[in-house]
Amino acid sequence: MRRMVREVRLAPADFVYPIFVTRDQPGPIEGMPGVTRLTVEGAVKAANEATAAGLSGVLLFGIPQSKDETGTRALSPTGIIPEAVRAIKRCRLDLVIITDVCLCSYTTHGHCGLIRNKVLSNDATLPVLAQMARVHADSGADIVAPSAMMDHQVGAIRNELDAAGHQEVAILSYSAKYASAFYGPFRNAAGGAPQFGDRRMHQMDPCNAREALREIEMDLEEGADLIMVKPALAYLDVIRRIHDQWPQVPLFAYNVSGEYAMLKAAVQHGYAEERPAVLEVLGSIRRAGAQGIITYHALDAARWLSTQPPT
């Protein structure tokens, strides 16, 4: 009877699996047990595993061989992400390929855009993000996901994609991305920690919810096809408010690295049982209103759901 009247159900297709791709730095990621940086060949294998598990997509993050002040390698058609996208596309998988569009992993200073007079320049960054998105689309990306939180980045990217003939490439905007304390393991993984200052100038104040609604509205007006809240667990109320206001818009939530690491640590110390705890967390994100969940638990959760759904 519990199964009969269940209000929210989890399925493997609810999940998107994040993948870190590198040419020369593969290996385990500190603070994220079970997650590794992968070569292009490893990313192809992970994409095949994601397809076999029934996931809906993968989200690719690139780790370049070298960095500079302006993130030049982010714009190269032969860069790590274009190479990975082309390699996965050759497999003809029933899988959506999403690429992260941000400069933090490609710049020596670790900030999300270009620095002018020691300050992050919103307007100078916009054409660079737009070009980066076009390079990804040229390589075969199905969705580009701008995460830099620059004002008007969605409009700049949409104009660039349309001008290049990529009207079919969708934009998943990190519309409500908070200046969170839960990004630490990710920054270790991608080498994207800021070398000075912080990101409070452009990422959202964790105390604000109405601001998220304004950011969402602006991104939708500029052409966002899908929207995202990041992180997920500390912002379930925000997810619910966005879902209630725009029920017709596909809404994703990013269950981020710090959230993953906390749960893994609890499991390792015997404070929680992994399978029910993970499914409870993911279920809470779906219950709040997210249609899709980007999570490092994706492969495990999909296999658990396929072999033994929650009772």
Active site residues: 177, 230
d(CA 171, CA 19): 18
- Which element (helix H / strand E) includes 295? strand 292-295
Which are the contacts of 159, defined by CB distance < 8 A and separation ≥ 6?
Answer: 130
Q: Are 163 and 170 in contact (CB under 8 A)?
A: no
Q: Which amino acid is at 274?
A: E
Q: What is the DSSP letter of 153?
A: H
d(CA 242, CA 234): 15
Q: Are 95 and 155 in contact (CB under 8 A)?
A: no
What is the number of alpha carbons within 13 Å of residue 48 lying toward its C-beta? 9
CA 300 to chain centre: 18
The number of beta carbons lying within 10 Å of the beta carbon of residue 32 is 20
Which are the contacts of 269, defined by CB distance < 8 A and separation ≥ 6?
Answer: none
